[in-house]
Amino acid sequence: MLSKEQILAALSHVNDPELHRSLTDLKMVRDIQISGGSVEVTIALTVPNCPLKAQIEADVRAAISGLPGVEAVHVKMTAMTEEERQAIFGKPKEGAAAAYNHVQRVIAVMSGKGGVGKSLVTGLLATALAQQGYKVGVLDADITGPSIPTLFGLHGPLEPGPVGIRPVESALGIKVMSMNFLLEREDQPVIWRGPLIGSAITQLWGDVYWGDLDYLLVDLPPGTSDASLTTLQSLPVNGIIMVTTPQSLASMVVRKAVHMAQAVNTPIIGVVENMAYFTCPETGKRHDIFGASHSAEVAQAAAAPILVQLPIDPQVAAMCDAGKIEAVSLAETPALLNAFLEVVPVTK
């Protein structure tokens, strides 16, 4: 005869795939009905719209089916109430999600200068990493001028996770979080002074359920004020990619960011030169439309290699506008990916 104890014992070996704790430990197993060889079990998900519902159901079915004498398994799903969730995870408090976030490498994409393509570099690199099977997140730290949601074609509303808010997932499974997901309209301004900007960034880290990631790329806004300072001081940033454009003017401002990174002791792992040139589609000739490159000055100040030079490509601009950065195929991306993986490798 099958017993409830046998079923519970079997389920004690099934883990919640996000939380890495067993279903019995998380008090997710609610009701067990045994009738001959037929078992009906009710599982309470931590949140109603758990995206891993199907996987949990399959794991439960497999664990119970393996018991001797089981002929049929019925899995019913329900969701925990707020009180039940709090009994397990505690009252939601600021930064609580951080304890559940296991990120191998946090890399900030920085520039100091605006409009040089920080978000483009972040998006291209995140895409290339995801295509190689890495688990990737993108934290958009540009609170007042976010570009990331547009590039990936993503929007809110946000769903709660077991702890904290769940990031929005892109087509390739990149976990993305941006202030713009919290706004009613994408062109609504966020008229906040620095202290609020700083605390918004710490919340996008500590109140968001990032889970297990190989790489979290943090897309910084221009400037060396609150957003950059809070990111480099409050987030566990392992390294910085510095983005620049050929102009000497850009190089001067980007070197300010380089010196800031050095002042707060965060290593710069490499420099990306964006908008390096434009190839005329008719003549095939390369035009240095922003003049001769001064990126070497940035690389020298940063004591870091130039990882890649990216061209201006009207097609890329159009795809970014259309939210299709994951479909951009740029000849230079593999070079960027390889150079990046060489300087910040992780174990998949």
Query: Is the Cβ of residue 97 or residue 220 nearer to a copy of itself in the bound state?
Result: 220
Strands 136-140 and 278-279, sheet pairing: unpaired
Q: Which is nearer to a copy of itself, 24 or 278 (CB)?
A: 278
Element (H, E) at 6: helix 4-11
Q: How far is the CB of 316 from a copy of itself (least distance, A)?
A: 9
Which residues are CB-neighbours of 303 under 8 A, at least 6 positions away? Answer: 268
**Chain residues in the site for a copy of itself (CB under 8 A):** 112-116, 143-147, 150-151, 186-195, 197-198, 221-226, 229, 245, 247-249, 252-253, 255-260, 263-264, 278, 280-283, 285, 287-292, 294, 301, 312, 314, 317-318, 320-321
Complex with a copy of itself: residue 156 or 160, whichever CB lies closer: 156
Minimum distance of a copy of itself from residue 284's CB (angstroms) = 11
Report in angstroms how near the CB of residue 193 gets to a copy of itself at its nearest. Answer: 5
Q: To the nearest whole angstrom, how small is the minimum distance from the Cβ of residue 56 to a copy of itself?
A: 38
Shortest Cβ 107–a copy of itself spacing (Å):
20
- Distance of closest approach, residue 168 Cβ to a copy of itself, in angstroms: 17
Of the pair 10, 110, the CB lying nearest a copy of itself is at 110
Q: Please state, in angstroms and as integers, the Cα–Cα distance from residue 108 to each residue in 78, 139, 263, 270, following that order.
A: 39, 9, 15, 11
Burial bucket for residue 11 (CB in 10 Å: 0-12, 13-18, 19+): buried
Q: Which is nearer to a copy of itself, 123 or 270 (CB)?
A: 123
DSSP for 109-175?
EE-SSSSSSHHHHHHHHHHHHHHTT--EEEEE--SSS--HHHHHT-----EE-SSSEEPEE-TT--E
Q: Which among 219, 294, 223 is positioned nearest to 253, based on CA atoms? A: 223
> How far is residue 210's CA from residue 136's CA, in Å, rounded to a whole number?
10
Nearer Cβ to a copy of itself (46/266): 266
